[in-house]
Structure 1
Amino acid sequence: MKIFSLILALLLLLSCNSQKKLQGVYKSNKAEFGFFVTKIDFKNSNEFNYVFSGDLQHQDLSGLYTVSGNNLYLKFNKNKGESESVHDSLTIADILSGNYNNFDLKSESGISYHLKYKIKGNKLFAYDIKSGQLKRKSKVYTNQRKYVFWGTGWKYQRIYLKKI
């Protein structure tokens, strides 16, 4: 009887579907195209802060996220073309910084989103914005040379966001 109740308790505990815990900061493992780094800070209440920066471009946006299976959906507070600012009116600094949402609103399985990521452990893998396919590799700059004294410093490597 004790073994039966132990097995039943284990089955109940294992069958519980827990929500994936994303709280924390995720950052790009390498700078894409040698310049661009993405950083996402997930809060407890399904809120996030999204920072994309590099080569004279900087976006600092916020919004809500949804987890469905192994997919993460990010929906920004502002729609495409709208600027996110601390003030109600745009300043010249906001216009020059490009702090606006430039992603189209999409829908999948009844979930509206701007960006989509695949969750694998403590890593987030991005989906391509145009094709919707999972990004396999991206161009990154590396100090490793193709040959001993000369050769290219660019390689195609796997890009993902890693929890820090």
Structure 2
Amino acid sequence: MAPLRIILSLLAFTTAAIAFTPTPVLQRRTFHLTPLHQAGPGKGGGGAVATPGTKQEVTTVTKQKSEQKQKQKAKPSDPDLDSDQEFEDAPMFRLFLIFDESYEQEHVVTRIFQVVEDCSEDEAARIFKSAYQQGEAFLGKYPKEIAETYAEALTRSDPIIYADVRDDENK
């Protein structure tokens, strides 16, 4: 029983030693590379330019294509590029600033400048003065969605700034 234990212990030790032995990353070549040489004319082999042993003839054949008009069936998903569509401009709406006595000039001018994209601070100050004198001031003409967005953003200010959107035709 003792010799069996010794043999098994020796076998376990050698497999453990082999398992934890690092293997080389780069393997060494066991053969040597030799440079390629041309053996001579007609003997083949080597790295020289290959010359064919038989003569090759090149002929060019041209064919004329006949023009044929094919009817293309239009699919429902294909756009009709030939039609001249006229696009109507979006209806314009007028945006007004309604004056209130509780307004602070700095707050109103700053909010108009922040909300209305094409308005400078000087323009916002002029609009505020006009609203102060006349009760309301014209801010600009915009498509309906944009005018409503500006009016809603102004009315959501804290403190509130009153704005009104009116149809351009009902001046």
Instruction: Give your verdict on TM over 0.5.
Output: no
- TM-score, normalised on structure 2? 0.20
- TM-score, normalised on structure 1? 0.21
Computing the radius of gyration from Cα coordinates, the structure with the larger value is 2
More helix by share: 2
More strand by share: 1
